[in-house]
Amino acid sequence: MNIFITLLLICGLIFFTGGTLGILRFPDFYSRLHPAGKLDTFGLVTTVGALALYIAFVQGLFLTALKIGLIIVFVFITSPTATHAIVDAGVRAGLKPWTKPSSGEDQT
Amino acid sequence: MEHVFLYAGLYLCLLMFLSLYRAVAGPTILDRLIGTNAIGSKTTSLLILIGLMYHRVEMFVDIALAYAMLNFITVLAASRYFQKRKGLYDENTD
| C-alpha–C-alpha distance, residues B11 and A13, integer Å | 8
- Domain assignment of residue B45, yes or no: yes
Structural domain range at position B37: 9-84
ipTM: 0.80
Better pLDDT: A92 or A55: A55
pLDDT for the residue numbered A26: 82
Distance CA B94, CA B92 (A): 5
Buried b (16+ CB within 10 A) or exposed e, A66-87: ebbeebbeebeebbeebbebbb
What does pLDDT average to over chain A? 83
**Could you tell me if residue B90 is inside a domain?**
no
Q: A94 or A47: whose pLDDT is higher?
A: A47
- Per-residue pLDDT, B73: 92
Q: What is the mean pLDDT of chain B?
A: 83
Whether the pLDDT of residue B8 is over 50: the answer is yes
Q: Is B2 contained in some domain?
A: no
Distance CA A59, CA A47 (A): 17
| pLDDT tens-place string over residues A20-55 | 888 888 877 788 888 888 888 888 889 999 989 888
A40 vs B71: CB contact, 8 Å cut-off? no
- Rounded Cα gap, residues A54 and A50, in angstroms: 6
Decide if B13 is inside a domain.
yes
B22 CB neighbours in chain A (<8 A) are: 23-24, 32
Give the total number of structural domains in chain B. 1
Q: Tell me if A59 sits within 8 A of A5, measured CB to CB.
A: no
